[in-house]
Amino acid sequence: MALPLQYLKAARWPGLVILIALIIRLQPWLQTVLIYNREAILEGEIWRLTTGHLVHFSSTQLFLDGAVFGVTAYIIESRRYPYLHELYLFSAVVISMLMLWLLPDMAYYGGLSGIAMATTTYLALHGLRESAPWRKLSTFVLVLIIVKMSMELSNEHLIFVDYENDAIATVSLSHLSGVVCAWIVYIWSDRINILINLKAGKLN
Amino acid sequence: MSPLRKYTLTIILAIFMVATGGCATQSRYYSSSVDYLYPGKTEPVESPTIPVMKIPMKVGIAFVPDAGWQSRGTSFWHGAAGNSGSERGLGLTENQKTELMQKVGGYFRKYPYIGSIEVIPSAYLIAKGSFTNLDQIRTMYGIDGIVLLSYDQVQFTDEGASSFLYWTIIGAYLVPGEKNTTQTMMDAVVYDIKSHKMLFRAPGLSQVKGSATPVNLSEELRKNGETGFDLASQDMITNLDTQLSLFKEKIKQAPQEYKIINRPGYTGGGNIGWWFGFILILAGTATIWRYHYNT
């Protein structure tokens, strides 16, 4: 059974992001060039602020981050919630900037999980406006996010991430800032919509 | 043969048989982490502070100085137990210690939160040096924690029923009437040097049984001693794995007892986590499937 075009269209962007992350995972030289590297960023290699999120330290990390991001971004695309691409870019830059500012001891960072948290939150926030079953699921996901964030913040520095070859510290700041970014874009998209509607004279 | 000569010969034979049979010896070589860390204290009382562990940790590994040897019993064939302890191979030589430390160290290296592991030569550890000595080593090697290895090996030698054949002299060369048992315990205890806090420990045990003729007894004991150390260290390494996993859980469950900080220059990563990721992937996939099915 051939997939309808609308599904392929919805999968286009999330699929591209995951594909790029996969290619980077398979090419170590790309990881060196694209990883969030604090020193390099401060020397002017600012592309790393966005590309760092596409670098993963292990296949497990890539699988989990990629799957959560892929599923949530696909649903957002297929339900046509606005400003998803703005959310990608905004959260990628804001997460990296906050890490640059607040985590001066962290030399390297990699992972799509911050953006995945942003897309998950964004999807759940939009879902609150939908009809009953969808709204209930969205509420459940938001509760889940709150639980995860509370656990991460209360166990700050205590979670070892056993990736394949290296000692990677869990950075809860990236998740927290991803959630905040989603909330900001959600509020902002609402305001923009109100302005657009006002301009068009659709609101009283 | 006159009766006197007959009696004399019988007495000599009886003395010879008693002397050559039924003897038991016991030798013990050991070192002790408690003696090293808390010398002269019958009740080691230490009030450790909360350890601040910088991840990835820099760890040293060392054998605590030998406490000595003890022996009990004598044997006609090999004299007092432990008299020739070094020849028998009881205890560990410096080479063996280094090999063992490298083996255990290599095992630690596979853990991502262990940044480096330094093998500390035994000469750097002073007998009863306590934490003062460990502080010196910490300064010299720039380590945060230390794995202190100690051992306790006891070798028992008993003469079995067949040992009465020794009186034939040739039997001493051919009959393996010396039954020996080598019991070894190795112990690895991991300390955070600054806080004096013991993080965890892992023991390893082994028992090797064998038999030998009186002539090759020392060689047999040496071999059994080495095998005993090998088996005990393997057991200790297996237990270390379990203890490291338990320690990680302990840190999560009692965060007030340990402080973990990241060493400057660390690498950070996003971690969605299995439970969170699994629920989201499952819920998301079900939603997509239902949505597509309905449309």
- What pLDDT is stored for residue B74 in this prediction? 64
Q: How far is CA B107 from CA A27, A200, B167, B234, B239, in A?
A: 29, 69, 51, 11, 12
Tell whether the model's pLDDT for residue B84 goes beyond 60.
no
Nearest residue on chain A to B56, alpha-carbon basis? A167
- What pLDDT is stored for residue B260 in this prediction? 76
Number of neighbouring beta carbons within 10 Å of residue A176:
17
Place of tokens 């260290």: B233
Q: For B41-56, what is each residue's pLDDT tens digit?
A: 766 566 777 888 887 7
Contacts of A113 in chain B (CB under 8 A): 269-272
Cα separation, B160 vs B165, in Å, equals 10
For residue A137, give the nearest of B113, B266, B283 by CB distance.
B283
Cα separation, A132 vs B207, in Å, equals 68
Cis amide linkage into residue B56, ω under 30° from 0: yes
Give phi and psi for B182, each to the nearest 5: -115, 115
Residues 38-97 of A with CB under 8 A from B: 56-57, 61, 64-65, 67-68, 71-72, 74-75, 78
Q: For B100-152, what is each residue's pLDDT tens digit?
A: 888 888 878 777 678 788 999 988 998 888 899 999 999 999 999 999 999 99
Cα separation, A45 vs B92, in Å, equals 55
For residue B260, give the nearest of A114, A137, A158 by CB distance.
A158
Q: For B190-231, what is each residue's pLDDT tens digit?
A: 999 988 888 889 999 988 887 767 667 777 778 888 888 889
pLDDT > 70 fraction of chain B, expressed in percent and rounded: 76
* A32 at interface of B, judged by CB pairs closer than 8 A: no
- What pLDDT is stored for residue A53 in this prediction? 94
In 3D space, the residue among B284, B232, B122 whose CA is nearest the CA of residue A79 turns out to be B284
B59-63, B90-94, B151-155, B181-185 — most confident range: B59-63
What is the average pLDDT score of chain B?
A: 78
Tell whether the model's pLDDT for residue B246 goes beyond 80.
yes
A89-98, B24-33, B155-164, B198-207 — most confident range: A89-98
pTM of the predicted structure, to 2 decimals: 0.65
- What pLDDT is stored for residue A48 in this prediction? 94
- How far A194 CA lies from chain B's nearest CA (Å)? 28
- Residue B199 and residue B192 in contact, taking contact as beta carbons nearer than 8 Å: yes
Q: For the structural domain made of A5-199, what CATH number should be given?
A: 1.20.1540.10
Where in chain B are the domains?
3-262
Cα separation, A45 vs A30, in Å, equals 14
Contacts of B255 in chain A (CB under 8 A): 155, 158
Tell whether the model's pLDDT for residue B239 goes beyond 80.
yes
Cα separation, B100 vs A40, in Å, equals 42
- What pLDDT is stored for residue B5 in this prediction? 77
- Residue B187 and residue B36 in contact, taking contact as beta carbons nearer than 8 Å: no
Residues 274-293 of B with CB under 8 A from A: 274, 276-277, 279-281, 283-285, 287-288, 291-292
- How far B244 CA lies from chain A's nearest CA (Å)? 12
Residues 190-249 of B with CB under 8 A from A: 248
Question: Are B268 and A158 inside 8 Å of each other by CB?
Answer: no
B150-164, B232-246, B264-278 — most confident range: B232-246
For residue A159, give the nearest of B56, B271, B277 by CB distance.
B271
Residues 40-59 of B with CB under 8 A from A: 55-56
* B112 at interface of A, judged by CB pairs closer than 8 A: yes
Q: One digit per residue, pLDDT tens: chain A, 204 residues?
A: 455 677 778 788 899 999 999 999 998 899 999 999 999 999 999 999 999 999 998 888 899 999 999 999 998 988 888 888 899 999 999 999 999 999 998 889 999 999 999 999 999 999 888 887 788 888 988 998 998 888 887 765 544 555 454 567 788 899 999 999 999 999 988 787 777 777 777 554
For residue B269, give the nearest of A78, A158, A168 by CB distance.
A168
Which whole number is the average pLDDT over B270-288? 80
- What pLDDT is stored for residue B215 in this prediction? 64
If phi > 0 it is left, if psi is from -120 to 50 it is alpha, else beta; for residue B73 that is left
Where in chain A are the domains?
5-199
Tell whether the model's pLDDT for residue B22 goes beyond 70.
no
What ipTM was estimated for this complex? Answer: 0.78
Contacts of A116 in chain B (CB under 8 A): 270, 272
- What pLDDT is stored for residue A8 in this prediction? 76
Question: Are B280 and A68 inside 8 Å of each other by CB?
Answer: yes
Tell whether the model's pLDDT for residue B20 goes beyond 90.
no
For residue A7, give the nearest of B113, B264, B292 by CB distance.
B292
- How far A110 CA lies from chain B's nearest CA (Å)? 5
Cα separation, B190 vs B168, in Å, equals 54
Cα separation, B106 vs A164, in Å, equals 16
Q: Which of the residues A160, A162, A175 would you substitute to probe the B interface, choosing the one with the greatest number of B C-beta atoms within 10 Å?
A: A160
Instruction: Name the band, by pLDDT with cuts 50, 70 and 90, for residue B8.
Output: confident
Instruction: Name the band, by pLDDT with cuts 50, 70 and 90, for residue B249.
Output: confident
Instruction: Name the band, by pLDDT with cuts 50, 70 and 90, for residue B85.
Output: very low
- What pLDDT is stored for residue B173 in this prediction? 66
Tell whether the model's pLDDT for residue B88 goes beyond 50.
no
